[in-house]
Amino acid sequence: MKKVKRFIPASIFGMLLMLLAGCGEENLSALRPKGTASKISFDMMMLSIYIMLGVFFVVAVIFTYVILKYRKRRGDEDIIPEQVEGNTTLEVIWTAIPILLLLILAIPTVLATFTLAAEEPQEGDDTLKIQVTAYQYWWDFNYPDLEFNTAQDLYIPVGEKIYVELTSKDVIHSFWVPALAGKMDTNPGLTNAMWIEAKEPGVYKGKCAELCGPSHALMDFRVIALEKDEFDAWVNHMKTAESAPQTEAAQAGEEIFTESCISCHAVGSEGGNIGPDLTVFGDRETLAGFLEMTDEKIADWIKDPQALKPANHMPAFKDQLNDDEINALVAYLKELKAN
Ligand code: CUA
């Protein structure tokens, strides 16, 4: 029995530790804000925590004082305490204090709500606009003013407010980059808007935050914040991107791509938009948002995508293409880079 009693607090402590450790992944935590919007939310959260801690502390002190001072002592059996009915001063005080605390919480909350609201950039405004479209289970990023698309990796310039429009082509998903901003739903047939701003260059992990099917948990993406000049160079590449495979294997791969893949996937200005744009596929650190980017994994993916990301919409090519053809495709895809 003693062992069980000791085990319970130990396991609660252990679970708390694991929970807190899970919150700590660099660049995937709302508790380590790296953006302007996430810092506003974080500060609001801390303000309410400080107020709650203050209330808890005052109540706990008064509570402890009262139960100690007015506890039943030996010989108190027949004594009836002083009977009090109402105390106007006390009632005014304990009504006024909560009102004051709620005002301290409400004023910054309302101000933050207005600050976090996204305003559509007007004509002549050079705010970068990005249209996010969610699909089961990947993300399309369109830069309407720059006239190109990308997928899975969202490139933004650092230190600028980016206007983001969100929608979905199938079910409801939710766009969430915890270190940069709060989450927002992407709804089919509806456009939501928000803004994000990264304060420092870096790679910020993004998640789908709305249960959307069997591979919901695998619907990861990344936001890559670059210094302005690097971002401009990237934009220049995207605008002029053309596939020009160097090696023989990659050239063979391009032919296969043109026959089997291009109706769904675009490279540069050529190709369909049913699957993710692959213009800078070779720059991605992850395959399909969550897999290690190795030749074997890319080949496995082409052979049987369902085995890796269940219920996604890409067909399996294990019966259409032989190993040599798949290896050539892999060589071609890996050469698709921004420089
Ligand atoms: Cu998309 Cu969950």
176-228 pLDDT tens trace: 999 999 999 999 999 999 999 999 999 999 999 999 999 999 999 999 999 99
Please work out whether the CB of residue 173 comes within 6 Å of at least one atom of ligand 1. Answer: yes
**Would you state the pLDDT for residue 4?**
60
Q: Is the omega angle on the peptide bond into residue 332 within 30 degrees of 0, that is, cis? A: no
Distances 199 to 26, 46, 115, 174 between C-alpha atoms, Å: 15, 20, 17, 23
Instruction: Give the whole-angstrom CA distance, residue 170 versus residue 313.
Output: 12
Atom of ligand 1 at shortest distance to CA of 171? 1
Residue 205, ligand 1, Cβ within 6 A: no
C-alpha 274 – ligand 1 centre gap (Å):
17
Tell me the pLDDT of the chain averaged across its residues: 91
Q: Judge if the beta carbon of residue 210 lies within 6 A of ligand 1.
A: yes
Q: How confident is the model at residue 22 (pLDDT cuts 50, 70, 90)?
A: low
138-143 β-sheet, strand order: 148-151, 138-143, 129-135, 162-168, 192-196
Least confident segment among 12-26, 38-52, 175-189, 201-215: 12-26
Q: Six-digit token pair at 87?
A: 């105390």
Closest CA to 31 of 19, 17, 45, 18: 45
- Interval between CA 307 and ligand 1 midpoint (Å): 18
Q: Which two tokens stand for residue 3?
A: 């062992």
Using a 6 Å cutoff on CB, does residue 219 contact ligand 1?
A: yes
Q: What three-state secondary structure class fits 19?
A: helix
Residue having the nearest C-alpha atom to atom 1 of ligand 1: 173
Q: How far is the CA of 126 from the centre of ligand 1 (A)?
A: 31
- Pick the atom of ligand 1 nearest to 216's CA: 2
The answer, as to whether pTM is greater than 0.75, is: yes
Q: Is 323 helix (H, G, I), strand (E, B) or coil?
A: helix
Q: Among 27-31, 133-137, 295-299, whose mean pLDDT is lowest?
A: 27-31
